[in-house]
Each structure stands twice: as structure tokens, then as C-alpha cells.
């Protein structure tokens, strides 16, 4: 189970709302599995008013049944 959302929550707690955010996501591993419609890899960069920059990446690349 992927829990990256909590890293975003922590960044906002410590640094406040970001000034800018960019990100990418893909279904790199599970694309051939019927009915698997969510992204399994993602990455983002956020900048904050204090000058802090956060880079967060996440993946859920476990192969079902293995």
C-alpha cells in the first residue's frame, strides 16, 4: 500500500502551502493488467515561501500475486 499522501501533508504542516508545484505520474508497471486504472509511479517538486524545496516520489510496483 502506497502512503505518499502523508508526505505531502507533512510538507504542508512544516512549510505551509507551496508557491508552485509540478509533477508527473504514470502507470509504468501495471498498464497491462485489466481494470488497473490508477498510476503506480509519481514524482513531484514543490517550492515554498521560505525557500524550501520538496521532492517527493512514490511507487506501487509490487506485482499482484507475488
In a domain, 66, yes or no: no
Q: Answer yes or no: is 65 within a domain.
A: no
What is the count of structural domains for the chain?
1
Beta bridge partners of 54: 46
- The pLDDT of residue 65 is 67
Residue 3: predicted pLDDT: 83
pTM: 0.77
* Sequence-separated (6 or more) residues with CB below 8 Å from residue 23: 42, 43, 44, 45
Residue 42 inside a domain? The answer is yes
14 domain residue, yes or no = yes
Instruction: Let me know if residue 20 belongs to a domain.
Output: yes
Examine residue 17 and state whether it is found in any structural domain, yes or no: yes
In the structure grid, which three cell numbers stand for residue 49, read together?
A: 515561501
Range of the domain at 49: 5-59
| pLDDT tens for the 66 residues of the chain, in order | 568 899 999 999 999 999 999 999 998 888 888 888 888 899 999 999 999 999 999 988 777 666
Q: How do strand 53-59 and strand 41-47 relate by DSSP bridges?
A: antiparallel
Amino acid at each position: 500500500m502506497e502512503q505518499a499522501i502523508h508526505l505531502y501533508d507533512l510538507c504542508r504542516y512544516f512549510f505551509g502551502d507551496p508557491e508552485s508545484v509540478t509533477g508527473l505520474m504514470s502507470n509504468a508497471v501495471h498498464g497491462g493488467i485489466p481494470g488497473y486504472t490508477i498510476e503506480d509511479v509519481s514524482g513531484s517538486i514543490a517550492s515554498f515561501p521560505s525557500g524550501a524545496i520538496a521532492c517527493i516520489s512514490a511507487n506501487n510496483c509490487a506485482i499482484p500475486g507475488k
